[in-house]
Structure 1
Amino acid sequence: MTLIRNIAFMIVFYGLSVPIVLIVPFSALFGRNALIAYSVGWTRFHRWCARYLLGVRSRYKGPRPSGQVFYAAKHQSMFETLDLMVEMGAPAIIMRREFARIPIWGWATQVYGIILVDRAASATALRALMREAKAARESGRSVMIFPEGTRVKPGEQPELKSGFAGLYKMLDLPVVPIATDVGRLWPKKGLKRAGIATFRFGEPIPPGLPRAEIEARVHEAINVLEPRS
C-alpha cells in the first residue's frame, strides 16, 4: 500500500507540477502579489496530494505567531518548506542559490521574493543576503530560515549556521522557532509513510540578545520533537 501511495503521489503531484510551473511566467505578469498567490495555490495542491495520496497530515501546536517575525525552522524534508509557506502566509524564505538555476522556477523564486544564499558564504554573498533580507523586512513580510543550513535526519542536531545570528541582529524581529518531526514520515531517500507530521511553535524570542544566547535558545527550541537518547 505504501508503494502504491508513493507512485500515485509522484504521478499526480510531479506530473501536474510541470504545467503549473510552466504557467508561472503568465501569473508573474500581474505582479508579485499575483505570483505569491499562485505559489501558495501550488503549495496547497502539494498539501492536498500529501494528505489524500500519501496519508501525510500536518498538525500545528504551540502559540500561533502574529505580526512580522523571523521564523527559524527545523529542516528534515521538502514537505515543511512547502507546508510552512501555506501555513505562515507566504513569508520570504531563505534558500540555497542552486534553486535559482532551475529553468523558469529559478526566475519565479526571485519574483516571489525568495532570498538566495550562496553556500560559499563569501563577503559579497553575505552582503547580498543581508540586503535582500532587509528589503523583505521593510516590505512588511516575515522572513523564514532553516538555520541548520540543510536537511537533516531525525535525531541529528547540528549547530546553527553562522549567518543566522547576523540576520537576527539585522532584522531586529522576534524569532519564532519551529520544531518538526516530519522526517520520520518523509525521508530524504526511500518511501514516504502515512502519519501525522507535527509542527510546534516555540515562544517568540525577543530581538537584541547576544549571539550565544539566541543560538542556544533557537537550537533547543527547534529540536524539542527530536527523540531523546
Structure 2
Amino acid sequence: MTGELLIREMHDSDKPRERLINYGPDKLTNQELLAILINTGNRNESSISLASKILKNLQSIRELRDVTYEELTAINGIGKAKAITILAFIELAVRMHTHSREEDKYIRSPKDVTDILMEKIRYYNQEHFIVLYLTTKNMVIEEKTLFIGSLNTSIVHPREIFREAVKRSAAAFVCVHNHPSGDPTPSEEDIEVTKRLRECGDLIGVDFLDHIIIGDGKYVSLKEMNYI
C-alpha cells in the first residue's frame, strides 16, 4: 500500500477528471493527464501513482514517445489495455504535429519540409534518412524512410534513392535526416553524401532540391549552405 490517496478517496474537486472539466486540460500536470488515460488504478495504487511510475525515469515529457509496450506492461498495474491506450494516444499526438492534407504538402522552402517532418523525427534515437519525392510542381508524392542508422557513404546508396524516384515518376526529391544529438550541424559524411546525390541527380535528370538536417527544434539546409 502506498502513502498516496486513491482517486476514490480524493475530494471531487481534486480528481484529475473534475479538474480538467473545471479548469481546462492546460491546467493539469503531465501526471494528471496520464492518469486520466490510465483511467483506473488497482487495489493498492491510484492511476496517479501509476502515472508517476511511468514518468519518473523520463528526463522530459518528450521521451514518453519512445516508451515501449514492454516497458509499460513491466509496471505492476499497467496491463495490456492500459498500455495500448497510452501508446495509441502517443501516436495520435505525433500525427497531430504532422501535416496530412495534400494541399499542405508542397515544398517551396526548407521550412515546408520541417513543417512536415520536424516533430516526427526530431526525437528519434537513431538517424533516419527520409526522402520526399515530388511532382513537377513540388507536391509530395510520397515520404519514404530509406535508411536507419549512423549515416555514411556506405549506408546511403544513391541507387536506392533514384530507383524509388523512377518507380514513382518523381521529378524531384528532398532528403532529410535527423541528428539524435539535437545539433543539426552537418558532418563531413553528410556533406559527402550530399555531393554524391547532387552528381547522380545531374546525371539521371531528377532534381535534387535539398538535403535538410533536423536537430532539436533546429534545422540546416545544405542547399542554403551552397552544397547543392
Calculate the TM-score normalised by the size of structure 2: 0.35
Rg: which structure is higher?
A: 2
RCO higher in 1 or 2 (8 Å CA, sep ≥ 6)? 1
